[in-house]
A and B are shown apart, each in its own frame.
Chain A
């Protein structure tokens, strides 16, 4: 279960760096990551490199603000830097919190789905481990231990269930509102290829998350 999150993120970080170099600022990228994470039903890949860079920028800005305050710079300038800092801090916190909420909600599902588990950062994985322990203990102490032996699982309704039918899963066929900044052309909605939609640049669409999942994950489309 110990994952390849490390390799994965480093591989992506190069891409991130390149992309941010040619197009957008980290503030913009962080905003996008935050919006996507908030709107997606499923947990997305942890933006390791982006979070790292944002942290560094925040730290640098904190030092700058401190220095300005110490040598008595114009209080207006200082307060503007402070506001910029607060906005970035808010984004970063909200991003991390949104992920933690998803982890708490879907921990058992993430635990048994390697792909999702690999999307978590190390601290998130640690957090989820502890969450699971607590939840199992809680369920066990309050209910499960008092039930007949075939009903003791926290994953199944009874031992006759074939699947884990007591594990909350994100609903992937839920609809999301999305926007692409470039023309993507005719896009197939379902597996059978019957339904297609023309995705134009900068237009909003309401589409099933399931069908645009790969586009969200590769950053070709943004959720709004």
Chain B
């Protein structure tokens, strides 16, 4: 009937997420002299040798590729900070706060600014570990959907890439449970009578689970 199955359940492609992440600001130290840039996405510069300035990542990468600047990795990308995050991530059930685009940003910097990141191997493996721990948590965390009646899910501190990866599964699962818990909804009618049915129907379902 109405509503075909959604072919592109994962709304954004990895490339599109990277595109979004490239707009995040980062500090660079230019080695050239250049007038301020008045771009559509904002005004940046002026650029003076050895004087740090903030630019979007795409701009930083473009300059870096031409050897015109050094990129200063953000604070959260230091070995010290990442070690803390990893420990906390392992200890606590909650997700640690990290930048929304941490996966994409770290990837961009690993690809284009290797020589600007101190202890790059350490940093890289820490981020990999953090990613692994978080994905494991996401996996176990999702069990909650089947355990109790869930109408809404709060995904506190989940990053863009993580949310995008779980999106097809989570949205489908929630949708299915939502429909199962109110069979009348499928028939597409929302009279008052039906709504009463729904509440009645929810009762026995929960008991079934408890057994």
Residues of A at the B interface (CB closer than 8 Å) are: 25-28, 31, 35, 38-39, 41, 54, 57-58, 61, 74, 76-77, 79-81, 83-85, 87-88, 90, 105, 109, 165, 167-171, 173-177, 189-192, 194-195, 197, 203-208, 224
Contacts and interface: CB of A to CB of B under 8 A. Distances in A.
A77 B37 contact: yes
A177 B155 contact: yes
A83 B58 contact: yes
A171 B58 contact: no
A206 B167 CA distance: 9
Given A177-B163, A197-B152, A85 B40 contact: yes
Contact of B154 (A26, A27, A87, A197): A197
A177 B40 contact: no
B62 A83 contact: yes
Q: Which of A58, A173, A224 has the most CB of B within 10 A?
A: A224
Contact of B37 (A26, A81, A88, A170): A81
Given A205-B153, A205-B154, A165 B37 contact: no
B3 A169 contact: yes
A167 B2 CA distance: 6
A25 B39 CA distance: 11
Contact of B4 (A77, A84, A168): A168
Given A31-B23, A84-B39, A165-B1, A174 B152 contact: no
B117 interface: no
A192 B197 CA distance: 12
Q: Is the contact region of chain B dominated by helix, strand, or loop, or is it mixed? A: mixed
B199 interface: yes
B204 interface: no
Given A168-B2, A208-B178, 9 more contacts: A25-B42, A167-B2, A171-B2, A173-B175, A173-B179, A195-B151, A197-B152, A203-B157, A204-B156
Contacts of B37: 77, 80-81, 84
B170 A206 contact: yes
B163 A204 contact: yes
B195 A175 contact: no
Contacts of A79: 62
Interface in B158-178: 158, 160, 163, 167, 170-172, 174-175, 178
Interface in B73-96: none
Query: For chain B, which range describes its interface: under 10, 10 to 19, 20 to 34, or 35 or more residues?
Result: 35 or more
Contacts of B185: 173
B135 interface: no
Contacts of B35: 77
A165 B188 CA distance: 12
Interface in B82-116: none
Nearest to A209: B171
A119 B6 CA distance: 22
B40 A191 contact: no
A25 B3 contact: no
Contacts of A27: 40-42
B2 A207 contact: no
Given A167-B2, A169-B3, A174-B175, A31 B20 contact: yes
Nearest to A198: B154
Interface string B139-159: 000000000000111111110
Contact of A57 (B20, B40, B154): B40
Nearest to B182: A190
A165 B154 CA distance: 35
A175 B174 contact: yes
A103 to B, nearest CB: 15
B175 to A, nearest CB: 5
